[in-house]
Structure 1
Amino acid sequence: MSDVAIVTEWVDLKVGESVMSAYVARPAEPGAYPGVVVGHEIYGLHATARAAADRLATLGVIVVMPDLFHRVAPRAELELHVDRDRGLELLRTLERPEVVDDVAACLDELRRRNAVSLNMVGFSAGGHVAYYAATQLPLAATAAFYPGWLTNTDIPLSTPEPTVEATPGITGRILLFFGGEDPLIDAEARDELEEALSANGIQHDIVVYDPAPHGFLFPGRDSYRPEFAEDAWSKLADLLR
Protein backbone atom coordinates (compact mmCIF):
# COMPACT_ATOMS: atom_id res chain seq x y z
CA MET A 1 0.00 0.00 0.00
CA SER A 2 1.26 3.47 -0.78
CA ASP A 3 0.01 6.78 0.60
CA VAL A 4 -3.13 7.98 -1.15
CA ALA A 5 -5.19 11.18 -1.01
CA ILE A 6 -8.10 10.94 1.41
CA VAL A 7 -11.36 12.63 2.31
CA THR A 8 -13.01 12.71 5.74
CA GLU A 9 -16.56 13.08 6.98
CA TRP A 10 -18.85 12.48 9.94
CA VAL A 11 -21.75 10.05 9.64
CA ASP A 12 -24.58 8.99 11.94
CA LEU A 13 -25.12 5.25 12.39
CA LYS A 14 -28.18 3.62 13.91
CA VAL A 15 -27.36 1.36 16.85
CA GLY A 16 -30.46 -0.16 18.37
CA GLU A 17 -32.68 2.73 19.41
CA SER A 18 -29.84 5.27 19.47
CA VAL A 19 -27.78 7.15 16.92
CA MET A 20 -23.98 7.03 17.06
CA SER A 21 -21.63 9.47 15.38
CA ALA A 22 -18.66 8.02 13.57
CA TYR A 23 -15.62 9.59 11.94
CA VAL A 24 -14.91 8.32 8.44
CA ALA A 25 -11.62 8.65 6.55
CA ARG A 26 -11.32 7.06 3.13
CA PRO A 27 -9.34 7.22 -0.11
CA ALA A 28 -10.56 10.00 -2.38
CA GLU A 29 -10.51 7.79 -5.47
CA PRO A 30 -13.19 5.12 -5.86
CA GLY A 31 -11.88 1.61 -5.62
CA ALA A 32 -11.88 -1.73 -3.83
CA TYR A 33 -10.41 -1.10 -0.37
CA PRO A 34 -10.17 -2.98 2.93
CA GLY A 35 -12.37 -1.66 5.72
CA VAL A 36 -11.13 -0.88 9.22
CA VAL A 37 -13.05 -0.02 12.37
CA VAL A 38 -10.94 2.05 14.78
CA GLY A 39 -11.32 1.92 18.55
CA HIS A 40 -10.30 5.18 20.23
CA GLU A 41 -8.59 5.73 23.59
CA ILE A 42 -10.27 6.94 26.78
CA TYR A 43 -9.98 10.49 25.42
CA GLY A 44 -12.77 9.87 22.93
CA LEU A 45 -12.71 11.35 19.44
CA HIS A 46 -9.60 13.40 20.17
CA ALA A 47 -7.61 15.00 17.36
CA THR A 48 -4.82 12.45 17.79
CA ALA A 49 -7.30 9.61 17.26
CA ARG A 50 -8.66 11.29 14.14
CA ALA A 51 -5.10 11.81 12.89
CA ALA A 52 -4.42 8.10 13.33
CA ALA A 53 -7.61 7.31 11.40
CA ASP A 54 -6.46 9.64 8.64
CA ARG A 55 -3.06 7.98 8.45
CA LEU A 56 -4.71 4.58 8.24
CA ALA A 57 -6.82 5.81 5.35
CA THR A 58 -3.70 6.94 3.48
CA LEU A 59 -2.63 3.30 3.44
CA GLY A 60 -5.57 2.68 1.13
CA VAL A 61 -8.31 1.63 3.53
CA ILE A 62 -11.79 2.85 4.48
CA VAL A 63 -11.79 3.80 8.16
CA VAL A 64 -14.83 4.13 10.42
CA MET A 65 -14.17 5.27 13.99
CA PRO A 66 -17.26 5.00 16.21
CA ASP A 67 -18.01 7.27 19.14
CA LEU A 68 -17.86 4.55 21.79
CA PHE A 69 -19.06 6.97 24.47
CA HIS A 70 -22.13 8.09 22.51
CA ARG A 71 -24.62 6.79 25.06
CA VAL A 72 -23.34 8.95 27.92
CA ALA A 73 -21.09 11.67 26.42
CA PRO A 74 -21.71 12.11 22.68
CA ARG A 75 -18.71 13.32 20.65
CA ALA A 76 -16.57 13.64 23.77
CA GLU A 77 -13.12 15.02 22.99
CA LEU A 78 -11.19 15.04 26.24
CA GLU A 79 -7.93 16.84 26.90
CA LEU A 80 -4.96 14.52 27.03
CA HIS A 81 -3.85 13.56 30.55
CA VAL A 82 -5.83 16.45 32.11
CA ASP A 83 -9.10 14.56 31.64
CA ARG A 84 -7.73 11.09 32.34
CA ASP A 85 -10.04 10.48 35.31
CA ARG A 86 -13.06 11.50 33.23
CA GLY A 87 -11.89 9.21 30.45
CA LEU A 88 -11.58 6.28 32.83
CA GLU A 89 -15.04 7.10 34.16
CA LEU A 90 -16.43 6.96 30.62
CA LEU A 91 -14.55 3.73 29.93
CA ARG A 92 -16.31 2.13 32.89
CA THR A 93 -19.68 2.86 31.29
CA LEU A 94 -18.90 0.54 28.38
CA GLU A 95 -20.55 -2.88 28.45
CA ARG A 96 -19.70 -5.80 26.20
CA PRO A 97 -23.02 -6.20 24.34
CA GLU A 98 -23.26 -2.48 23.56
CA VAL A 99 -19.67 -2.28 22.30
CA VAL A 100 -20.24 -5.26 20.03
CA ASP A 101 -23.36 -3.54 18.69
CA ASP A 102 -21.33 -0.37 18.00
CA VAL A 103 -18.63 -2.25 16.10
CA ALA A 104 -21.22 -4.30 14.22
CA ALA A 105 -22.90 -1.07 13.05
CA CYS A 106 -19.54 0.10 11.71
CA LEU A 107 -19.02 -3.20 9.92
CA ASP A 108 -22.41 -2.74 8.29
CA GLU A 109 -21.31 0.73 7.16
CA LEU A 110 -18.12 -0.74 5.70
CA ARG A 111 -20.15 -3.35 3.86
CA ARG A 112 -22.36 -0.57 2.51
CA ARG A 113 -19.19 1.09 1.21
CA ASN A 114 -18.16 -2.18 -0.46
CA ALA A 115 -15.11 -2.84 1.70
CA VAL A 116 -13.28 -5.92 0.45
CA SER A 117 -12.41 -7.08 3.98
CA LEU A 118 -13.47 -6.24 7.53
CA ASN A 119 -10.78 -5.46 10.09
CA MET A 120 -10.27 -3.51 13.31
CA VAL A 121 -7.49 -1.45 14.88
CA GLY A 122 -7.64 -0.18 18.46
CA PHE A 123 -5.53 2.02 20.69
CA SER A 124 -5.20 1.43 24.45
CA ALA A 125 -8.79 1.04 25.76
CA GLY A 126 -9.86 0.87 22.12
CA GLY A 127 -7.39 -1.96 21.72
CA HIS A 128 -9.28 -3.87 24.39
CA VAL A 129 -12.48 -3.20 22.45
CA ALA A 130 -10.80 -4.48 19.28
CA TYR A 131 -9.59 -7.67 20.94
CA TYR A 132 -13.02 -8.44 22.36
CA ALA A 133 -14.73 -7.58 19.08
CA ALA A 134 -12.44 -10.07 17.34
CA THR A 135 -13.81 -12.80 19.60
CA GLN A 136 -17.41 -11.97 18.68
CA LEU A 137 -17.44 -10.71 15.08
CA PRO A 138 -16.04 -11.93 11.72
CA LEU A 139 -12.94 -9.76 11.55
CA ALA A 140 -10.30 -10.77 9.03
CA ALA A 141 -7.51 -9.05 10.95
CA THR A 142 -7.25 -7.14 14.22
CA ALA A 143 -4.44 -4.95 15.52
CA ALA A 144 -4.40 -3.66 19.09
CA PHE A 145 -1.89 -1.16 20.41
CA TYR A 146 -1.09 -1.55 24.11
CA PRO A 147 -4.54 -2.91 25.05
CA GLY A 148 -5.02 -2.97 28.82
CA TRP A 149 -7.17 -4.99 31.23
CA LEU A 150 -7.33 -8.07 28.98
CA THR A 151 -6.14 -10.45 31.70
CA ASN A 152 -7.99 -9.04 34.71
CA THR A 153 -11.52 -7.96 35.68
CA ASP A 154 -10.82 -4.33 36.55
CA ILE A 155 -13.27 -2.77 34.07
CA PRO A 156 -16.77 -3.83 32.95
CA LEU A 157 -15.44 -4.76 29.49
CA SER A 158 -13.31 -7.45 31.13
CA THR A 159 -16.15 -9.05 33.10
CA PRO A 160 -17.59 -11.42 34.12
CA GLU A 161 -14.42 -13.27 33.11
CA PRO A 162 -11.18 -11.73 31.83
CA THR A 163 -11.38 -10.94 28.11
CA VAL A 164 -8.42 -13.21 27.41
CA GLU A 165 -10.72 -16.15 28.20
CA ALA A 166 -12.82 -15.27 25.12
CA THR A 167 -9.76 -15.81 22.88
CA PRO A 168 -11.08 -19.09 21.37
CA GLY A 169 -13.72 -17.04 19.53
CA ILE A 170 -11.13 -15.24 17.38
CA THR A 171 -11.35 -16.41 13.77
CA GLY A 172 -8.99 -13.97 12.03
CA ARG A 173 -5.39 -12.89 12.44
CA ILE A 174 -4.38 -10.72 15.40
CA LEU A 175 -1.40 -8.40 15.91
CA LEU A 176 -0.61 -6.92 19.32
CA PHE A 177 1.85 -4.09 20.03
CA PHE A 178 3.26 -3.32 23.46
CA GLY A 179 5.91 -1.13 25.03
CA GLY A 180 8.40 -3.03 27.14
CA GLU A 181 8.25 -0.29 29.79
CA ASP A 182 4.46 0.02 29.86
CA PRO A 183 3.43 -0.14 33.54
CA LEU A 184 -0.16 -0.97 32.55
CA ILE A 185 0.67 -4.22 30.69
CA ASP A 186 3.49 -6.20 32.22
CA ALA A 187 5.40 -9.20 30.89
CA GLU A 188 3.15 -11.61 32.81
CA ALA A 189 0.06 -10.26 31.04
CA ARG A 190 1.79 -10.44 27.66
CA ASP A 191 2.81 -14.03 28.34
CA GLU A 192 -0.76 -14.92 29.26
CA LEU A 193 -2.00 -13.51 25.96
CA GLU A 194 0.68 -15.39 24.03
CA GLU A 195 -0.26 -18.63 25.76
CA ALA A 196 -3.99 -18.18 25.04
CA LEU A 197 -3.46 -17.31 21.38
CA SER A 198 -1.02 -20.17 20.81
CA ALA A 199 -3.16 -22.71 22.66
CA ASN A 200 -6.09 -21.90 20.39
CA GLY A 201 -4.11 -22.03 17.15
CA ILE A 202 -4.81 -18.40 16.30
CA GLN A 203 -2.56 -16.68 13.78
CA HIS A 204 -0.91 -13.93 15.75
CA ASP A 205 2.13 -11.80 16.42
CA ILE A 206 2.99 -9.99 19.63
CA VAL A 207 5.47 -7.17 19.12
CA VAL A 208 7.21 -5.71 22.17
CA TYR A 209 9.29 -2.57 21.78
CA ASP A 210 11.90 -2.14 24.47
CA PRO A 211 12.15 0.42 26.03
CA ALA A 212 8.93 2.01 24.76
CA PRO A 213 6.29 3.29 27.20
CA HIS A 214 2.50 3.16 26.92
CA GLY A 215 1.19 5.39 24.13
CA PHE A 216 4.35 5.33 22.01
CA LEU A 217 2.48 5.59 18.69
CA PHE A 218 1.02 9.11 18.61
CA PRO A 219 3.16 12.19 17.80
CA GLY A 220 2.99 15.24 20.01
CA ARG A 221 3.16 13.34 23.30
CA ASP A 222 6.00 12.81 25.73
CA SER A 223 5.47 9.07 25.27
CA TYR A 224 5.96 9.20 21.48
CA ARG A 225 8.82 7.06 20.18
CA PRO A 226 9.13 7.69 16.43
CA GLU A 227 11.43 4.77 15.65
CA PHE A 228 9.03 2.28 17.23
CA ALA A 229 5.96 4.05 15.88
CA GLU A 230 7.18 3.90 12.29
CA ASP A 231 8.06 0.23 12.59
CA ALA A 232 4.59 -0.45 13.99
CA TRP A 233 2.92 1.46 11.15
CA SER A 234 4.90 -0.63 8.66
CA LYS A 235 3.78 -3.86 10.32
CA LEU A 236 0.19 -2.61 10.42
CA ALA A 237 0.28 -1.82 6.69
CA ASP A 238 1.54 -5.36 6.03
CA LEU A 239 -1.30 -6.80 8.09
CA LEU A 240 -3.92 -4.90 6.09
CA ARG A 241 -2.26 -5.40 2.71
Structure 2
Amino acid sequence: MSERAIVTEWIDVEVGGAVMSTYLARPEAPGAYPGVIVGHEIYGQHESALAAAERLAALGVTVLVPDLFHRTESRARLDWTAEGRERGLELLRTLGRADVVADISACIEELNRRNATAVGMVGFSAGGHVAYYAATQLPLNVVAAFYPGWLTNTEIPLSTPEPTIEFTSGITGRVLLFFGGLDPLIDAQARAELGKAFSDNGIDHELVVYEDAPHGFVYPGRDWYRPEDAEDAWARLVNLLRG
Protein backbone atom coordinates (compact mmCIF):
# COMPACT_ATOMS: atom_id res chain seq x y z
CA MET A 1 0.00 0.00 0.00
CA SER A 2 1.61 3.23 -1.14
CA GLU A 3 0.44 6.73 -0.35
CA ARG A 4 -2.01 8.15 -2.85
CA ALA A 5 -4.28 11.15 -3.36
CA ILE A 6 -7.65 10.94 -1.62
CA VAL A 7 -11.04 12.60 -1.64
CA THR A 8 -13.33 13.08 1.35
CA GLU A 9 -17.00 13.88 1.81
CA TRP A 10 -19.90 13.50 4.19
CA ILE A 11 -22.56 11.02 3.12
CA ASP A 12 -25.87 9.91 4.61
CA VAL A 13 -26.23 6.22 5.40
CA GLU A 14 -29.71 4.94 6.17
CA VAL A 15 -30.12 2.93 9.36
CA GLY A 16 -33.54 1.65 10.27
CA GLY A 17 -35.34 4.48 8.51
CA ALA A 18 -33.08 7.12 10.08
CA VAL A 19 -30.05 8.88 8.61
CA MET A 20 -26.55 8.42 10.02
CA SER A 21 -24.07 11.07 8.96
CA THR A 22 -20.89 9.30 7.88
CA TYR A 23 -17.46 10.57 6.89
CA LEU A 24 -16.09 8.98 3.73
CA ALA A 25 -12.41 9.01 2.77
CA ARG A 26 -11.27 7.13 -0.31
CA PRO A 27 -8.53 7.05 -2.92
CA GLU A 28 -9.07 9.56 -5.69
CA ALA A 29 -8.27 7.07 -8.45
CA PRO A 30 -11.16 4.82 -9.50
CA GLY A 31 -10.89 1.18 -8.55
CA ALA A 32 -11.94 -1.55 -6.17
CA TYR A 33 -10.35 -1.13 -2.74
CA PRO A 34 -10.59 -2.80 0.66
CA GLY A 35 -13.16 -1.19 2.94
CA VAL A 36 -12.55 -0.19 6.54
CA ILE A 37 -15.03 1.12 9.11
CA VAL A 38 -13.53 3.35 11.80
CA GLY A 39 -15.10 3.34 15.27
CA HIS A 40 -14.58 6.68 16.97
CA GLU A 41 -13.86 7.39 20.63
CA ILE A 42 -16.35 8.84 23.13
CA TYR A 43 -15.47 12.25 21.65
CA GLY A 44 -17.53 11.46 18.56
CA GLN A 45 -16.52 12.29 15.00
CA HIS A 46 -13.59 14.32 16.25
CA GLU A 47 -10.91 15.66 13.88
CA SER A 48 -8.54 12.97 15.17
CA ALA A 49 -10.84 10.18 14.00
CA LEU A 50 -11.30 11.85 10.61
CA ALA A 51 -7.52 12.26 10.28
CA ALA A 52 -7.08 8.55 11.00
CA ALA A 53 -9.60 7.77 8.25
CA GLU A 54 -7.70 9.97 5.81
CA ARG A 55 -4.42 8.29 6.69
CA LEU A 56 -5.96 4.89 6.00
CA ALA A 57 -7.50 6.09 2.73
CA ALA A 58 -4.10 7.29 1.54
CA LEU A 59 -2.93 3.67 1.81
CA GLY A 60 -5.53 2.58 -0.72
CA VAL A 61 -8.58 1.92 1.44
CA THR A 62 -12.18 3.16 1.30
CA VAL A 63 -12.99 4.32 4.82
CA LEU A 64 -16.25 5.14 6.59
CA VAL A 65 -16.49 6.84 10.00
CA PRO A 66 -20.10 6.35 11.13
CA ASP A 67 -21.71 8.58 13.73
CA LEU A 68 -22.24 6.04 16.49
CA PHE A 69 -24.12 8.60 18.60
CA HIS A 70 -26.54 9.68 15.87
CA ARG A 71 -29.59 8.54 17.79
CA THR A 72 -28.87 10.93 20.65
CA GLU A 73 -26.64 13.77 19.40
CA SER A 74 -25.98 13.94 15.69
CA ARG A 75 -22.36 14.56 14.65
CA ALA A 76 -21.09 15.14 18.17
CA ARG A 77 -17.54 16.44 18.20
CA LEU A 78 -16.41 16.86 21.79
CA ASP A 79 -13.34 18.56 23.22
CA TRP A 80 -10.57 16.67 24.98
CA THR A 81 -11.61 18.10 28.33
CA ALA A 82 -13.15 16.76 31.52
CA GLU A 83 -16.50 18.13 30.36
CA GLY A 84 -16.09 16.55 26.94
CA ARG A 85 -15.18 13.22 28.48
CA GLU A 86 -18.21 13.27 30.77
CA ARG A 87 -20.56 14.09 27.89
CA GLY A 88 -18.92 11.40 25.78
CA LEU A 89 -19.49 8.81 28.49
CA GLU A 90 -23.13 9.90 28.69
CA LEU A 91 -23.48 9.35 24.95
CA LEU A 92 -21.70 6.01 25.14
CA ARG A 93 -24.21 4.83 27.73
CA THR A 94 -26.99 5.34 25.18
CA LEU A 95 -25.38 2.88 22.75
CA GLY A 96 -26.61 -0.70 22.83
CA ARG A 97 -25.63 -3.87 21.05
CA ALA A 98 -28.53 -3.78 18.60
CA ASP A 99 -27.51 -0.22 17.67
CA VAL A 100 -23.97 -1.34 16.90
CA VAL A 101 -25.14 -4.22 14.70
CA ALA A 102 -27.51 -1.91 12.82
CA ASP A 103 -24.92 0.84 12.29
CA ILE A 104 -22.04 -1.39 11.25
CA SER A 105 -24.28 -3.54 9.04
CA ALA A 106 -25.35 -0.39 7.21
CA CYS A 107 -21.71 0.57 6.71
CA ILE A 108 -20.85 -2.89 5.41
CA GLU A 109 -23.68 -2.59 2.91
CA GLU A 110 -22.44 0.84 1.83
CA LEU A 111 -18.90 -0.43 1.33
CA ASN A 112 -20.12 -3.44 -0.60
CA ARG A 113 -22.16 -1.10 -2.79
CA ARG A 114 -18.87 0.67 -3.50
CA ASN A 115 -17.31 -2.65 -4.56
CA ALA A 116 -15.09 -3.14 -1.50
CA THR A 117 -12.86 -6.15 -1.99
CA ALA A 118 -13.13 -6.95 1.73
CA VAL A 119 -14.45 -5.18 4.82
CA GLY A 120 -12.69 -4.77 8.16
CA MET A 121 -12.94 -2.43 11.12
CA VAL A 122 -10.55 -0.30 13.15
CA GLY A 123 -11.67 1.16 16.47
CA PHE A 124 -10.23 3.52 19.04
CA SER A 125 -11.04 3.21 22.75
CA ALA A 126 -14.86 2.90 22.99
CA GLY A 127 -14.84 2.51 19.21
CA GLY A 128 -12.47 -0.40 19.72
CA HIS A 129 -15.10 -2.06 21.88
CA VAL A 130 -17.63 -1.41 19.11
CA ALA A 131 -15.25 -2.99 16.58
CA TYR A 132 -14.70 -6.03 18.79
CA TYR A 133 -18.40 -6.64 19.34
CA ALA A 134 -19.21 -6.02 15.68
CA ALA A 135 -16.62 -8.63 14.71
CA THR A 136 -18.42 -11.21 16.86
CA GLN A 137 -21.69 -10.58 15.03
CA LEU A 138 -20.80 -9.57 11.47
CA PRO A 139 -18.50 -10.76 8.65
CA LEU A 140 -15.41 -8.59 9.15
CA ASN A 141 -12.22 -9.99 7.67
CA VAL A 142 -9.97 -8.06 10.08
CA VAL A 143 -10.50 -6.07 13.26
CA ALA A 144 -7.95 -3.80 14.90
CA ALA A 145 -8.74 -2.14 18.20
CA PHE A 146 -6.67 0.45 20.00
CA TYR A 147 -7.03 0.22 23.81
CA PRO A 148 -10.65 -1.08 23.79
CA GLY A 149 -12.15 -0.84 27.27
CA TRP A 150 -14.89 -2.66 29.19
CA LEU A 151 -14.57 -5.91 27.22
CA THR A 152 -14.20 -8.06 30.31
CA ASN A 153 -16.71 -6.33 32.61
CA THR A 154 -20.29 -5.01 32.54
CA GLU A 155 -19.71 -1.33 33.26
CA ILE A 156 -21.41 0.06 30.13
CA PRO A 157 -24.63 -1.00 28.36
CA LEU A 158 -22.62 -2.22 25.37
CA SER A 159 -21.03 -4.86 27.61
CA THR A 160 -24.25 -6.13 29.18
CA PRO A 161 -25.90 -8.36 30.19
CA GLU A 162 -22.79 -10.51 29.79
CA PRO A 163 -19.28 -9.15 29.15
CA THR A 164 -18.48 -8.73 25.46
CA ILE A 165 -15.51 -11.09 25.79
CA GLU A 166 -17.99 -13.95 26.08
CA PHE A 167 -18.89 -13.48 22.39
CA THR A 168 -15.29 -13.93 21.23
CA SER A 169 -16.01 -17.27 19.58
CA GLY A 170 -18.07 -15.44 16.95
CA ILE A 171 -15.04 -13.66 15.50
CA THR A 172 -14.08 -15.07 12.11
CA GLY A 173 -11.35 -12.65 10.97
CA ARG A 174 -7.88 -11.75 12.17
CA VAL A 175 -7.58 -9.62 15.31
CA LEU A 176 -4.96 -7.05 16.31
CA LEU A 177 -5.25 -5.27 19.66
CA PHE A 178 -3.06 -2.46 21.00
CA PHE A 179 -2.71 -1.53 24.66
CA GLY A 180 -0.72 0.83 26.83
CA GLY A 181 0.97 -0.77 29.80
CA LEU A 182 0.13 2.30 31.90
CA ASP A 183 -3.56 2.28 30.93
CA PRO A 184 -5.65 1.94 34.12
CA LEU A 185 -8.75 1.04 32.12
CA ILE A 186 -7.29 -2.19 30.70
CA ASP A 187 -4.96 -3.87 33.16
CA ALA A 188 -2.74 -6.92 32.75
CA GLN A 189 -5.47 -9.25 34.01
CA ALA A 190 -7.95 -8.02 31.41
CA ARG A 191 -5.33 -8.41 28.67
CA ALA A 192 -4.59 -11.94 29.83
CA GLU A 193 -8.30 -12.81 29.76
CA LEU A 194 -8.56 -11.54 26.19
CA GLY A 195 -5.51 -13.49 25.10
CA LYS A 196 -6.91 -16.67 26.63
CA ALA A 197 -10.28 -16.14 24.93
CA PHE A 198 -8.60 -15.86 21.54
CA SER A 199 -6.40 -18.89 22.12
CA ASP A 200 -9.24 -21.01 23.46
CA ASN A 201 -11.27 -20.24 20.34
CA GLY A 202 -8.42 -20.68 17.85
CA ILE A 203 -8.64 -17.09 16.61
CA ASP A 204 -5.74 -15.62 14.64
CA HIS A 205 -4.71 -12.72 16.87
CA GLU A 206 -1.96 -10.48 18.15
CA LEU A 207 -1.98 -8.40 21.33
CA VAL A 208 0.63 -5.64 21.41
CA VAL A 209 1.45 -3.88 24.68
CA TYR A 210 3.52 -0.68 24.84
CA GLU A 211 4.68 -0.83 28.43
CA ASP A 212 5.30 2.90 28.94
CA ALA A 213 2.23 4.13 27.05
CA PRO A 214 -1.01 5.44 28.60
CA HIS A 215 -4.53 5.18 27.26
CA GLY A 216 -5.03 7.11 24.02
CA PHE A 217 -1.37 7.11 23.01
CA VAL A 218 -1.92 6.96 19.25
CA TYR A 219 -3.48 10.35 18.42
CA PRO A 220 -1.24 13.44 18.04
CA GLY A 221 -2.10 16.66 19.83
CA ARG A 222 -2.66 15.21 23.28
CA ASP A 223 -0.45 15.10 26.34
CA TRP A 224 -0.64 11.31 26.31
CA TYR A 225 0.50 10.95 22.70
CA ARG A 226 3.52 8.65 22.33
CA PRO A 227 4.87 9.11 18.79
CA GLU A 228 7.22 6.12 18.65
CA ASP A 229 4.60 3.72 19.95
CA ALA A 230 1.94 5.28 17.70
CA GLU A 231 4.05 4.86 14.57
CA ASP A 232 4.91 1.27 15.45
CA ALA A 233 1.21 0.56 15.92
CA TRP A 234 0.37 2.17 12.58
CA ALA A 235 3.01 0.04 10.84
CA ARG A 236 1.50 -3.10 12.34
CA LEU A 237 -1.97 -1.96 11.29
CA VAL A 238 -0.77 -1.45 7.71
CA ASN A 239 0.64 -4.98 7.67
CA LEU A 240 -2.69 -6.32 8.91
CA LEU A 241 -4.58 -4.54 6.15
CA ARG A 242 -2.12 -5.77 3.55
CA GLY A 243 -3.13 -9.27 4.57
Name the structure 2 match of 1:226. 227
Distance in 2 (CA, whole Å) between partners of 1:139 and 1:5 is: 26
TM-score by length of 2: 0.98
Q: Which runs of 4+ in 1 moved over 4 A?
A: none
Offset of 1:31 from its aligned partner?
Answer: 1.6
Name the structure 1 match of 2:138. 137
Say which SS state the counterpart of residue 102 (structure 2) adopts.
Answer: helix
- 1:169-208 map, 5 Å: 169-208=170-209
Partner deviation per Cα, 1:110-162 (whole Å, 9 max, x = no partner): 00110100100000000000000000000000000000000000000000100
RMSD: 0.6
Say which SS state the counterpart of residue 90 (structure 1) adopts.
Answer: helix
Name the structure 2 match of 1:94. 95
Say which SS state the counterpart of residue 176 (structure 1) adopts.
Answer: strand
Name the structure 2 match of 1:55. 55
Offset of 1:4 from its aligned partner?
Answer: 1.1
Q: Which runs of 5+ in 1 are unaligned?
A: none
Distance in 2 (CA, whole Å) between partners of 1:61 and 1:118 is: 10
Partner deviation per Cα, 1:57-89 (whole Å, 9 max, x = no partner): 111100001000000000111111241000000
Offset of 1:188 from its aligned partner?
Answer: 0.3
> 2:44 matched to 1:44?
yes
Distance in 2 (CA, whole Å) between partners of 1:5 and 1:199 is: 42
Distance in 2 (CA, whole Å) between partners of 1:59 and 1:207 is: 22
Offset of 1:201 from its aligned partner?
Answer: 0.2
Name the structure 2 match of 1:238. 239
Say which SS state the counterpart of residue 60 (structure 2) adopts.
Answer: coil
Name the structure 1 match of 2:4. 4
Matched-pair identity in %: 70
Q: Residue 32 of structure 2 aligns to which amino acid in structure 1?
A: A
How many residue pairs align between the two structures? Answer: 241
Q: Residue 20 of structure 1 aligns to which amino acid in structure 2?
A: M
Q: Which runs of 5+ in 2 are unaligned?
A: none
Offset of 1:17 from its aligned partner?
Answer: 2.0
Say which SS state the counterpart of residue 81 (structure 2) adopts.
Answer: coil
